[in-house]
Amino acid sequence: TKELLENNIVESLDEIKGVGHRIVQGADKFDKTVVIDERVLETISDLSPLAPLHNPAAVVGIKAFKEFMPNATHTAVFDTAFHQTMPEEAYMYATPYEWYEKYQVRKYGAHGTSHRYVSKKVAEELGKDDLRIIVCHLGNGSSITAVKDGKCVDTSMGFTPLAGVVMGTRSGDIDVSLVPYVMEKEGKSVGEIMDCLNKKSGFLGVSQLSSDSRDIENGIADGNEKCRLAQDKYIRTVVDHIAKYYVLLGGCDVLCFTAGIGENSKSIRAQVVEKLECLGFKLDAEANNVRGEFRKISAEDSSSLIYILPT
């Protein structure tokens, strides 16, 4: 608030009429953006066990902003809200049903705010609502979502953002049996292993160099085989999810690339699409030679439109 005033962005905090708070975990309690009242704040806090790194910090932020801007309207925008349209067979795990009833164990997904924006924006661009869209939010955190007629029908992240494709420091999908196995081998706690899977895996874990895809690409150029393996594994998991959602949707009208890697890495986009050529996806190499720009990059004879769409 001090910087807002000192930099003359506003003369008074009373000028600010609305504050939007991005909340990672809304579970199945919220399927849209809501005005924050005491009940909403309490629910966000109650959901902290599902997002221990994010929701508690969000509660602190909301309380602070409410204190300094009591007359503004405060809204909560949930990363999980867009995914609330998934059917039961998509969000349920084949675990004992009472885990869902007692502890809310199910798929929630994440990055929903981005997936909603990108799918809506491309629908507006094409002037159609009845589209089968696959959105690839590829960055240090990566997730892929299948969208039909404007609604999410499945997404790659799960109970937490650890699941799905390989990421900067997250492992993505693994066989959970390796957790107790490595715990025993290394004498580590569950917390230590989970920390490793969340913060020391993915690009960083495989390459042993960096979590940043730009460093990985530079490493590949220098002949680093572990960097090559890290990127190959990443691309394979991305392609796997796109192919799975292609079948789920009964085809794909639009494939969208967004977020840090999706918007900026022409080589990863090209490699992903190349592996999807058996489904008719084709890239226009010249159009793909761009960073961070809203642009159609599919070839004219591609079975699906392909877009870069900054989120």
The structure tokens listed for 55 are: 């929701």
Q: What pLDDT is recorded for position 276?
A: 98
The structure tokens listed for 77 are: 């925008």
Contact 249, 278 (CB under 8 A): no
Distance CA 296, CA 121 (A): 13
Q: What pLDDT is recorded for position 295?
A: 96
Q: What pLDDT is recorded for position 4?
A: 84
Task: Tell me the Ramachandran region of residue 301: left when phi exceeds 0, alpha when psi lies from -120 to 50, beta otherwise.
Answer: alpha
Q: What pLDDT is recorded for position 49?
A: 82
Q: What angle separates helix 190-199 from helix 178-186, to the nearest 10 degrees?
A: 110
Q: Is the pLDDT of residue 45 over 80?
A: yes
Q: What pLDDT is recorded for position 88?
A: 97
Distance CA 30, CA 227 (A): 40
Q: Is the pLDDT of residue 53 over 80?
A: no
Neighbour-count burial for 170-192, b at 16+ CB within 10 Å, e otherwise:
bbbeeeeeebeeeeeeeeeeeee
Query: Three-state DSSP class for 28?
Result: coil
Q: What pLDDT is recorded for position 268?
A: 97
- Give the CA angle between residues 139, 93, 25 to the nearest 5°: 50
Q: What is the pTM of this model?
A: 0.91
Contact 229, 248 (CB under 8 A): no
Over the stretch 6-41, which tens digit does the pLDDT of each residue have? 898 888 888 999 999 999 899 889 989 999 999 999
Alpha carbon separation from 243 to 1, 145, 160 (Å, rounded): 47, 12, 22
Cα-Cα-Cα-Cα torsion 21, 198, 269, 121, nearest 10 degrees, comes to -20
Beta bridge mates, 179: none
Over the stretch 117-171, which tens digit does the pLDDT of each residue have? 999 999 999 999 999 999 999 999 999 999 999 999 999 999 988 999 999 999 9
Which residue, among 290, 294, 253, has the nearest Cα to 270 in the 3D structure?
Answer: 290
129: annotated active-site residue = no
Q: What pLDDT is recorded for position 257?
A: 98
- pLDDT tier for residue 293 given thresholds of 50, 70 and 90: very high
Q: Is the pLDDT of residue 52 over 90?
A: no
Which residue's entry shows tokens 């990127």? 231
Span of 6-15, 73-82, 202-211, 256-265 with lowest mean pLDDT: 6-15
Beta bridge mates, 295: 308
Residue 98: count other Cβ atoms within 10 Å of its Cβ: 9
- pLDDT tier for residue 50 given thresholds of 50, 70 and 90: confident
Q: What pLDDT is recorded for position 172?
A: 96
Mean pLDDT, rounded, for 69-98: 95
- Residue 190 carries which DSSP code? H
- pLDDT tier for residue 281 given thresholds of 50, 70 and 90: very high
Which one is catalytic: 14, 28, 31, 79? Answer: 79
Contacts of 236 (CB under 8 A, 6+ apart): 275
Distance CA 217, CA 230 (A): 10
Q: What pLDDT is recorded for position 58?
A: 95
Over the stretch 163-197, which tens digit does the pLDDT of each residue have? 999 999 999 999 999 999 999 999 999 999 999 99
- pLDDT tier for residue 272 given thresholds of 50, 70 and 90: very high
